[in-house]
Amino acid sequence: MTTRRSFVKFAAVTGLVSTAAPLFALSRLNIGIGTYSYHGLSVDDMIIQLNALHIREIEMSRGEFMLMNHPQDQLFRTTREKLDRTGIRCVSYYSATLKDDQDIENAVRFAKLLGCSNITGDATGSMLNRIDQRLTQEGLTFGIHNHFFPNVKFAYESPEDVLNALSTLSPTMGATADTGHFASCGYDPADAIRKLAPRLRMVHLKDVRAKGGEVNVLLGTGAARIPEVMQELHRQNFRGLLAVEYEKEGDVDQDMVQEITFARKLA
């Protein structure tokens, strides 16, 4: 297990601690983290890692914050206080699936408690219209999240699935594009980012070993064509958050150093 001290030492040796601040300042693309990457750590220990990496914007996507786990308001309040104290801004809340009006109300409340301007999740049918209406009232945006599930057909696997759902909805509604899941489902992530450009809210920057599976690998080493994705985002002059996600069990601290270093070099 990597200790806090050894992690910071590793980051310094790789040059991340000393170079991250100017690289971040000069980046055209905004590199942050999807916090599910640190689901094995406490919130306090996660914040230590985020600060060591000079991360200033995140999406809150840890499991205990998702709607299906029925989180309480106090979790969001105390987490917001901790993030504010360290200068980390939560720009998006990952709600997962919204199934009814109470889910919408909870997602809106939780997003506001965290200070977010965007909610990422999924819904189908008339729920999309209700989300559209409610979030428009609140001045929030929503990103439909594509996903891969083995042996299950998900509503949003291709960029066309997402675009078709958005075709009758207001600009409040957009896409949160997950590059790893597009690759897992057999779609070219760079092409998906290009197609979704008019409605792209944010990106989950993730790489996977191969089509048809969901084993995460370090950015640039798998099937998700990450350099081409970044080139396309540069072409779009994309200003939203690129939330690096690394879904792996166990100690990911040193892997995340490599993930962020790679992403920033292409930013």
Burial (Cβ within 10 Å: 0-12, 13-18, ≥19) of residue 125: exposed
Please give the radius of gyration of the chain, using alpha carbons only, rounded to the nearest integer. Answer: 17
Which residues of the chain register pLDDT less than 50?
1-10, 12-14, 17-27
**Quick one: CA dihedral 25, 36, 223, 14, positive or negative?**
positive
Contact between 131 and 142 under an 8 Å Cβ cutoff? The reply is yes
**Alpha-carbon distances of 29 from 3, 65, 140, rounded to whole Å:** 30, 27, 22
How confident is the model at residue 28, as a pLDDT?
A: 86
Greatest C-alpha distance within the chain: 52
How confident is the model at residue 18, as a pLDDT?
A: 40
Question: Which residues on neighbouring strands pair with residue 57, listed in sequence order?
Answer: 89
How confident is the model at residue 127, as a pLDDT?
A: 98
How confident is the model at residue 167, as a pLDDT?
A: 98
Tokens of 226: 């990450």
DSSP string, 123-143: --THHHHHHHHHHHHHT-EEE
Q: What's the pTM?
A: 0.90
Q: Residue 162's closest CA among 206, 136, 201? A: 201
Residues 6+ apart with CB under 8 A from 84: 115
Contact between 1 and 251 under an 8 Å Cβ cutoff? The reply is yes
Domains and their CATH numbers in the chain: 4-266 (3.20.20.150)
